[in-house]
Copies of this chain bind each other. A is one copy, B any other.
Amino acid sequence: MRERGEFERIRDIVAALPGGEGVIVGPGDDAAVLRPGDGRDLVVTTDTFVEGRHFRRDLLDAGAIGRRLAAANVSDLAAMAATPRWALVSCVAPRDADPSWLRDVELACAGSLSAAGAPVVGGNLASGDGPIAFTVTLIGDVARGAHWTRAGARPGDVLALTGFAGHAGAALASALAAQPPSFGAVPEALAERYASPPSRIALASALAACGGVRAALDVSDGLAGDLAHLCEASGVGAVVRDASFAGDRALEGAARALGVDEASLRFGPSDDYELLLAIAPEAWTGCERAARDVGVTLLAIGSCTAEREALLERADGTRAPIRGAGWNHFA
């Protein structure tokens, strides 16, 4: 990436991007000018993916890296009941980085962001002699005061999870266990959960219309860790029913192949970009129906409690503390 070519490179990438609503001045000036809707609050998040830590070029193609980067940000907005509107994508890469690979990552990321409603309206390219790093800042909006937070769950609320927990981590662990590391031998459905995390924006929007969601966050650390964040912020505890996860063939298979406990995959580190929700009991049936209408699996996995601890209830009725990375933050 030659220094002199920076302007031309930015123009190239920008020219290939889809436009969007509410963009008064797009990329190319000192800043972008954007028109928010009347009576809307903004919801803003940022996430950085660093090579070697968040992605490996020997494991994932440029498209999957770009899609995951977009998903990490889109999922934060879904967890706030917000609608993505605009995005900025920045990159730090060595001067000798392959420009077409960089372009492919940025275009895949921009494509996913745009599909979620957010055209790329700006960004930055800088050279740096280290691992490649991409940073996305995503701006969304929500009806004034209608956002969800992590704080608001009450004892008795239904704990609900979209999709599946632990699949991304299981897919990655399976790929890393191969010699050489590769997603080649990972069952396709599981690999796909890692390479193309689904957007939960439509589901969040449908649940927001139903009402009854009292707290939400996205599962980006792992179910145990993120449940801890929700409980801590809300001042509640949780009982999660092991039986609610029965029949998760993909995770069963991965656990067997890896020789580990299925629960360790389900609760351990995994950036699934799914939503964990606390829903008022009287609203549960309506939320379940709304999820079905938008074609998203919404699983009641337990409930919130007044005791400030998180327990896993086994099929035989016995209970034990949930273990998993991040849970120490609950203390």
Contact = CB atoms under 8 A, between A and B. Distances in A.
Contact of A7 (B54, B75, B130, B329): B329
Interface string A129-153: 1110101010110101101011100
**Chain copies in complex:** 2
A49 B90 CA distance: 11
B34 A122 contact: no
A150 B30 CA distance: 8
A126 B53 contact: yes
A44 interface: yes
Interface string A6-48: 0100000000000000001100111111111010111111111
Contact of A25 (B47, B124, B149): B149
A33 B129 CA distance: 35
A54 B131 contact: no
A88 B45 CA distance: 8
Nearest to A78: B30
Nearest to A42: B34
Given A29-B80, A124-B135, A126-B53, A46 B90 contact: yes
A48 B135 contact: yes
Given A44-B121, A46-B123, A122-B45, A133 B137 contact: no
B43 A147 contact: no
A52 interface: yes
Contact of A128 (B53, B122, B216): B53
Interface of A: 7, 24-25, 28-36, 38, 40-54, 75-77, 79-80, 82, 86, 88, 90, 92, 121-124, 126-131, 133, 135, 137, 139-140, 142, 144-145, 147, 149-151, 216-218, 233, 329
6 contacts: A25-B147, A30-B217, A33-B80, A33-B142, A44-B86, A126-B133
